Structures are given as C-alpha cells and as structure tokens.
Amino acid sequence: MPSGQPAIEAIPFIRDRLADLERSPRDSVASGRRAALWRAQAVAARSDRTIEDLRRYCLEMLNRNRRLDEADSSYLGGYREGFQLVFGEVRRLESRSG
C-alpha cells in the first residue's frame, strides 16, 4: 500500500461536480468537463493511488499540447476546466492534510 493520502478522498468532490453537470445544459463544454471528471474519478478510484498521483495525473493532462480547431475548442476547453476543478480540489486536500 502506498504511503500518502489516498486519492479516493477526492471522489465525493468529483461526484458532486458530475451531478452538477447532470443539471446543466448539454453542450460541448459540459461534455468536455464530464469526460475529464470521469477520467479523474477512474484514477482516484484505484486503491493504489494517492492524492499526489492524482495531482500528477491532472497536471499531465493539463500540460499536454493540444491543437484546438474551431470544432473542438469548446469541448477541449471544458476538458481542461474539468481537470482544473479536480486539481483545485487536490490542492485543497493537500493543504488540509499538510
């Protein structure tokens, strides 16, 4: 078992954001956010993952070079926003424990 705060502690926050998206209009930005939140939740749900692992994953996804074309820019913007939300929660969890 890895040392450190378990990433699963971020799941309630992620689930709440996914629930918020269910009540919002369906558009490409919301779809991008939803995809990012699902991916982050899948990482957080693994029992061998720590908050540090989730932080690194979010940063990796945010730092990827992505070409934005006219058709995908809204979706990819939402995708980035979803990871930014999770990253913010990770930082809050880290500061609470540290």
- Residues 62-98: tens digit of each pLDDT: 987 555 555 568 888 999 999 999 999 999 999 987 6
pLDDT per position as a tens digit, 24-35: 888 999 999 999
**12 belongs to a structural domain:** yes
Give me the number of domains the chain comprises.
1
Q: Is residue 1 very low, low, confident or very high in pLDDT (cuts 50, 70, 90)?
A: very low
Specify the pLDDT at position 72.
Answer: 62
Whether 2 maps to a domain, the answer reads: no
* DSSP track, 51-97: HHHHHHHHHHHHHS-----TTTHHHHHHHHHHHHHHHHHHHHHHHHH
Q: Is there a domain that residue 41 lies in?
A: yes
User: Residue 81 belongs to what domain range?
Assistant: 7-97
Using CA of residue 8, residue 9, residue 10, residue 14, what is the dihedral sign?
positive
Residue 97's pLDDT is what? 76
**56 domain residue, yes or no:** yes
- Please report whether residue 1 resides in a domain: no
Q: Specify if 35 maps to a domain.
A: yes
